[in-house]
Structure 1
Amino acid sequence: MRYIKPGLLALSIAAFALLSACVTDSKYNQLDQAYSQLQQAYQGDEVEIRQLQGELRITIRDKILFPEGGYRLNAKADQVLAKMAPTLSGFKNTKVVVRGYTDNIAIGAELRREGITTNLDLSSKRADNVVDYLIRKGVSQSLISAQGMGESNPIASNATPEGRAQNRRIEVTLVGPGN
């Protein structure tokens, strides 16, 4: 067994810690840059951008992207999502997760005729349509995914119209090194 001098071991640990901090700083700097770009792009829009530890989350209310009770993107969606695409298409190692959420109101007859029977189905269709749009605009298909969440994880009470409106949303989360 070889003996390592205490001074050499301490120096090695310090060097490792310094290098680890540099990678972490670089990671956050790239997410910071994306945060800044998206904040500028969405000034005045009904889009919330939050930087969390190791990820960036963009929340878009459903009424901006879809007709009431629908899942096909509307004309406003093109304007809103087109602002996001250039930033997202620049990533090479960052996962982009698009999650769709709904309120807890039962699916109406019109959607049932189209084969959408649950809020989970509706939220999945919405997330899928956002992902398809972003892929057409240059986001890497290998880095983006869609998840329907249905009425799970509400951010407000479903007891009021205002609360239900907050729960109907799309969240685009960037996870990874930011490059």
Structure 2
Amino acid sequence: MFDKDDNCIDVPGTVANNGCPEVITPEVTVEIQKSLNAYAKTILFDSGKSTIKSVSNGVLNEIVAILGQYPNAKFSIEGHTDSVGNDASNQKLSEERASAVMNYLIEKGVSSSRLTSKGFGESKPMADNATKAGQAENRRVEINLVK
């Protein structure tokens, strides 16, 4: 039995949703967040530039697929550098790299309204910049859920 307020007459639903079934939106879990950043940290750029190396397209497409599973979630793309070079150049490079990743995701169908980008330069190191290995860890992009 349906009435004038039932927008989905062929399927059972709730009054609160005008007679349509409730849509359950998946939550971005801690594991998904870790997975996104594990992928994001492997994105490679040309040295000193914001040009994404084509070898990174596969991992970027994996990120697109993950983001597609959470259509209502918003994400911040954050660029980071090591401490080699001057602060201003590193800040600019981190902003440009975060923006390059965001633009790639948008070109592949992720809604721009779900994404923001920001660069942090060398201000948030994960490792010691005194070693080459530490510098490599600090040169990264992160993709974080915006709550």
TM over 0.5: yes
> Partner of 2:141: helix, strand, or coil?
strand
Q: What code does the residue aligned with 2:63 have?
A: M
Q: Show structure 1 runs of 5+ residues with no match.
A: 1-25, 36-48, 51-55, 108-116
Q: Tell me if structure 2 keeps the 8 A contact 1:34–1:87.
A: no
> Partner of 1:164: helix, strand, or coil?
helix
> Against the structure 1 CA distance between its residues 57 and 152, is the aligned structure 2 distance closer, same or farther, given a 3 Å change threshold?
farther
Q: Tell me if structure 1 keeps the 8 A contact 2:28–2:73.
A: no
The 2-side partners of 1:30 and 1:121 are apart by 33
Match of residue 104 from structure 1: 83
Match of residue 28 from structure 2: 31
Match of residue 39 from structure 1: none
Say whether residues 1:87 and 2:87 are aligned partners.
Answer: no
Q: What code does the residue aligned with 1:105 have?
A: V
> Partner of 1:145: helix, strand, or coil?
strand
Say whether residues 1:169 and 2:140 are aligned partners.
Answer: yes
1:34 deviates by: 7.5
Q: Identity of paired residues, percent?
A: 35
The 2-side partners of 1:158 and 1:87 are apart by 31
The 1-side partners of 2:78 and 2:30 are apart by 23
The 2-side partners of 1:33 and 1:167 are apart by 22
Q: What code does the residue aligned with 1:31 have?
A: V
1:57 deviates by: 5.3
Match of residue 153 from structure 1: 124
Match of residue 124 from structure 1: 95
Say whether residues 1:65 and 2:44 are aligned partners.
Answer: yes
The 2-side partners of 1:32 and 1:84 are apart by 15
The 1-side partners of 2:120 and 2:141 are apart by 10
Q: Tell me if structure 2 keeps the 8 A contact 1:57–1:174.
A: no
Question: Pairwise mapping of residues 3-14 of structure 1 onto structure 2 (< 5 A)?
Answer: none
The 2-side partners of 1:33 and 1:118 are apart by 33
Q: Tell me if structure 1 keeps the 8 A contact 2:36–2:63.
A: no
Say whether residues 1:141 and 2:105 are aligned partners.
Answer: no
Q: Scaled by the length of structure 1, what TM-score is found? A: 0.60
Q: Tell me if structure 2 keeps the 8 A contact 1:97–1:147.
A: yes
**Which structure has greater helix proportion?**
1
> Against the structure 1 CA distance between its residues 34 and 141, is the aligned structure 2 distance closer, same or farther, given a 3 Å change threshold?
farther
The 2-side partners of 1:105 and 1:61 are apart by 18
Q: Tell me if structure 2 keeps the 8 A contact 1:89–1:140.
A: no
Q: Show structure 2 runs of 5+ residues with no match.
A: 1-23
1:79 deviates by: 1.1
1:146 deviates by: 0.5
> Partner of 1:58: helix, strand, or coil?
helix
